[in-house]
Chains A and B, each alone.
Chain A
Amino acid sequence: MSKATLRQATREALANTSVRSALTRFADSYVISREQVYQHKNFEELRREVARIKQETVEHLEELAAQFAREATRRGATVFRAATAAEAREYIARLARAKGIKTIVKSKSMASEEIHLNDYLKEKDLDVVETDLGEWIIQLARQRPSHMVMPAIHMSRNEVAEVFRREIKQAVEPEISSMVQLARRELRRKFLSSWMGISGANIAVAETGTIVMVTNEGNGRLTTTLPPVHVIIVGLEKLVPRFKDIVPILEVLPRSATGQHITSYVTMITGAVPAIDPEGKYHEQKELHIILMDNGRTRMAADPVFKEAMQCVRCAACLNVCPVYQQLGGVYGDVYTGVIGTLLTAFFTNPQKAQVLQNLCIDCGRCRDYCSGNINLPALIGELRRRTVESKGAGYAEKIIFDKILPRRRLFHRFLKTASRLQKPFVRAGKIRHLPLFLSGLTSGRTLPALADVPFRDLIATPPRPKKKNGRVALFSGCLIDFVYPGIGKAVAGVLAAMGFELVHPEDQTCCGFPAKQVGLMDNFAELARQNIAAFMDIDAEHILTACPTCAEALKFLYPEILAGDREWSQRAREMAQKVVDFSSFVYAKKKELIPQLAPFRHKVTYHDSCHLKRYLRVTMEPRQLLKDAGADLVEMSRPDVCCGFGGSFTLKFPELSNSILDRKLESLLETGAEILALDCPGCRLQIEGGLDCRNLPVKVMHTAEVLARCLASDGRVQ
């Protein structure tokens, strides 16, 4: 798969509005029901516990696999260690052939999807029937699951009725309960006549040889009870050391997967149990085969970074809260979908495809907050990106920008100033509505702000003088404020002056480097980090302020990380990081002097949480409180913390997708009836303001600093 194919696939997915509306509807209700079922439970504690258990598994993977095999064998199971997908498939086909088995019933198993078991068994003339309702529908429709937990979430009842009519030759109204009853009748016949059942597993307990299955429909119970031969396919990552380790996983899995306290059925199978075959013969012990499958898992567990992905319990919460997945469904992935799917694809099914899929992560960080296994998913995607660039190299344009231009500040800034002149033919009233040729995607569904005539670095040459002297603050403006929104910088300077702080703006500061990091060019990122640290090193200021959360994240968290091994620079990076603070947190902490000076801001305002402010800097309350202190009538929008779709280079790579995510944001924004959208990020502003402008919507977008500056400068009225 190439980037171009992926982009084409995303366009096609976006054209399918029914998938999108099903996924977004689900995403909205999911967050609410999930929250309800976690009441009286400490999610953070539970997921740390899950992570601890899984880390122990990763450290002792081979020992635990051997222990599991021993215990399950002792209880009458036959355990087969499959190193690859092919070994697992062949084992099952061989077993069926040896027993003379023709029909097989199957309950849901992602591991079986992973090894494309159904296609293989069909080639071997075996009749395999999926019995999970969603999987059965998908099988009849000859599609592949679009979601790990709800495989047919992309299909409507009418489509399902059509599939039933066509494939099982039964006329059925598109009425859900009658279709479910039809499925019950059809599949019950299959259950009663099959000699082999194949199931997956959610947990495998090494201590006791127990397999745990978490299900709702009851097909898993029938699959593991009616046929006299039962095959369980379980990936090594499902191992846990002890029986009691089931508890925390069972507490998070249904809650995070479907917003249930518990599923209808939890089944624990330890060894071979009695069975009665379709001919009525009683077997004291059925035949139980457990395929303990590796297929890339040992390699994942041995990887110093990606071993963290082994903590996944397959709840799919990361899909449910992903703004990109909501737009694309199954297109975002391979067998496994979404962000975790990309990581699993890299190790289990299709490494080349994973290298392309990683581009779809917008790095909003929302999945990290919901992950039941406490996995830092965006960081793992970042690592996949880094390794992709390392092996394949960066694109031509990226190389020019990040190798030749960005590291040379003077050249970069001259380049921007030239661009500011060259853009003139496209600028109307400070906005760019259409760009020619390959740049046209940038202005689809969004106008772009023009580069400012005079950048902030020139405006601030003579900063406003504070009346009092409460201290000295250095400002890291960042490219967007410096060259696109100098007005935000001016507002910051005004507010600080009113608070009695003197402002310095070191001239040698340059791009924070986040864009380089975002495309996986870590050396370029480190170079820019060093340049910026040098620019601020000798400045006498107690704080380094930023009004861009992405820059703040880079300076505060990413510089110490990237320079950790650098003898000369790591200490300097840490010293700088300690001084870095975002605008709203700084002002909030010292607001006493500011508030009485503010004329009331008599507007209805709603606030958008920028991803990097909320999820990396953990700031949500401060800007809201400042807006209220300024007198704003603050109304919350639905999903204030869902990404606006900007994502820096994401919007360049997938303009249509970025625009579609923006549509959702604008929808929530407009529902509030607010006149002003306040936010703390110039990137989000570029995206949302451009979208509003393009759609001729009269909502004004302001940085919190601009709201406060307005209240200082006038009567707090916005025209």
Chain B
Amino acid sequence: MNKALLPDVGRDLEQLYETFVVRARALGTEVYRVRGMSEARDLIGRLIKEMGAQKVALSESPLLSAADLGRAVAGCGAEVIKGNPREVAETADVGISSFEMAVAETGTLVQDATDINRRLVSMLPPVHLALVPTGCLVATLKEAINNLAARGQVPGYVAFVSGPSRTADIERVLTIGVHGPGRLAVIFIDEGGDIVV
């Protein structure tokens, strides 16, 4: 893990990151951090290989394009599946999408999920890998909501994701992976902040 980065906001960001890690892990989210795109590719390749995934659904975003994940997926023997996005997302073992904000105090990821493909990829597969630029960490929910409000027009569908899908509806026993992904891994990319997501 690289800690020396983004010199101007570095210290605050490190604190935010640490808080995020504690909160998110408490919710069952796996948290990774890489320096740049090539490390991201390596990590994603490794994760896909470890879980034995064959079919990968990718949503489109500048961050994902920059990371050139097709290469990573092919490199570990899996394939990026194409076609009707509903079927793609439903048959995929893992979905990968990017998020625009991460909220430290709650371990939350925030995504403009207006695009239908991005929504399907993050909702249907049993595993989700979420990419987010480290520089997009904010401290509080309040900050995140104020950022959304400041956009002039609130996006059509905004998703706040905090951990895997969970239920406690039977005897209040916490059970993971009921309707959404049962496994959520977030990958912070330090040198991704300048890419508009």
Contacts and interface: CB of A to CB of B under 8 A. Distances in A.
* A and B pair up: yes
Interface of A: 22, 25-26, 75, 131-134, 137, 150-153, 155-157, 160, 176-177, 179-181, 183-184, 187-188, 192, 208, 210, 216-219, 221-222, 224-226, 243-244, 246-247, 250-251, 258, 261-276, 278, 280, 282
Contacts of B116: 225, 273-276, 282
A273 B160 contact: no
A243 B154 contact: yes
Interface in B101-120: 105-108, 114-116, 119-120
A217 B157 contact: no
Contacts of B114: 273-274
Given A176-B173, A222-B124, 10 more contacts: A150-B168, A152-B170, A218-B123, A219-B179, A222-B180, A262-B141, A264-B163, A267-B159, A275-B116, A276-B84
Nearest to A242: B149
B169 A270 contact: no
B61 interface: no
Interface in B70-114: 84-87, 90, 105-108, 114
Instruction: List 10 A-B pairs, minimum CB-CB distance, nearest first.
Output: A218-B180, A134-B169, A266-B160, A218-B179, A218-B165, A273-B156, A268-B158, A133-B169, A274-B116, A262-B106
Contact of A269 (B27, B106, B157, B165): B157
A157 B171 contact: yes
Given A134-B169, A150-B172, A184-B177, A270 B154 contact: yes
Contact of B172 (A26, A225, A275): A26
Contact of B170 (A180, A273, A274): A180
Interface of B: 23, 27, 84-87, 90, 105-108, 114-116, 119-120, 123-124, 141-142, 145-146, 148-149, 154-173, 175, 177-181
Nearest to B116: A274
Contact of A247 (B108, B141, B169): B141
B171 to A, nearest CB: 5
A265 B159 contact: yes
Contacts of A274: 114-116
A599 to B, nearest CB: 49
B117 to A, nearest CB: 9
A222 B181 CA distance: 12
Nearest to B144: A247
A177 B175 contact: yes
A265 B166 CA distance: 10
A132 to B, nearest CB: 7
A167 to B, nearest CB: 15
A272 B108 CA distance: 25
Contacts of A217: 165-167, 169, 178-180
A222 B179 contact: yes
Given A222-B123, A261-B106, A276-B86, A216 B115 contact: no
A210 B153 CA distance: 11
Contacts of B177: 180-181, 184
B154 A183 contact: no
Contacts of B145: 243-244, 246-247, 250
Nearest to A266: B160
B84 A225 contact: no
12 contacts: A22-B172, A25-B172, A134-B170, A217-B167, A219-B178, A247-B145, A262-B106, A266-B108, A267-B160, A268-B157, A268-B158, A275-B116
B170 A210 contact: no
Most B CB atoms within 10 A — which of A153, A155, A247, A278? Answer: A247
Contacts of B165: 216-218, 264-265
B161 A133 contact: no
Contact of A273 (B157, B166, B181): B157
A295 B152 CA distance: 34
Given A176-B171, A219-B178, A273-B116, A267 B157 contact: yes
A53 to B, nearest CB: 14
A22 B114 CA distance: 40
A183 B178 contact: yes
Contacts of B168: 150, 216, 258
Which residue, of A137, A224, A268, has the highest number of chain B Cβ atoms within 10 A? A268
A155 B173 CA distance: 12
Contact of B90 (A192, A243, A275): A192
A82 to B, nearest CB: 24
B112 to A, nearest CB: 10
Contacts of A192: 86, 90
B86 A226 contact: yes
A136 to B, nearest CB: 9
A631 B170 CA distance: 48
B104 to A, nearest CB: 11
B169 A265 contact: no
A157 B173 CA distance: 10
Contacts of B123: 218, 221-222, 225
A25 B119 CA distance: 37
A75 B173 CA distance: 40
A244 B159 CA distance: 16
B141 A270 contact: no
Contacts of A271: 156
A26 B170 CA distance: 12
Given A216-B165, A270-B156, A176 B119 contact: no
A553 B122 CA distance: 56
A367 B178 CA distance: 32
A565 to B, nearest CB: 43
Nearest to B159: A267
Contacts of A208: 154
B161 A265 contact: yes
B146 A180 contact: no
A264 B172 contact: no
Contacts of B166: 216-217, 264
Contacts of A157: 170-171, 173
A133 B119 contact: no
The residue among B114, B119, B142, B177 with the most chain A CB atoms within 10 A of its own CB is B119
Given A183-B178, A218-B179, A262-B160, A250 B141 contact: yes
Given A261-B23, A276-B84, A187 B179 contact: yes
Contacts of B180: 217-218, 221-222, 264-265
A636 to B, nearest CB: 26
Contacts of A261: 23, 105-107, 162
Contact of A151 (B107, B156, B169, B178): B169
Contact of B167 (A153, A180, A221, A272): A180
Contacts of B170: 133-134, 137, 152, 155, 157, 160, 176, 179-180
A264 B162 CA distance: 4
B27 to A, nearest CB: 8
B172 A268 contact: no
B156 A75 contact: yes
Contacts of A184: 177-179
A247 B116 CA distance: 26
A152 B178 CA distance: 16
Contacts of B115: 274
A256 to B, nearest CB: 15
Nearest to B181: A218
Nearest to B115: A274
A243 B146 CA distance: 8
A408 B164 CA distance: 67
Contacts of B87: 280
Contacts of A264: 27, 161-166, 180
Residue of B145, B159, B167 contacting most chain A CB atoms (<10 Å): B167
A270 B170 CA distance: 33
A606 B23 CA distance: 38
Contacts of A247: 141-142, 145
Contacts of A177: 175
A402 to B, nearest CB: 44
A225 B119 contact: yes
Contacts of B90: 188, 192
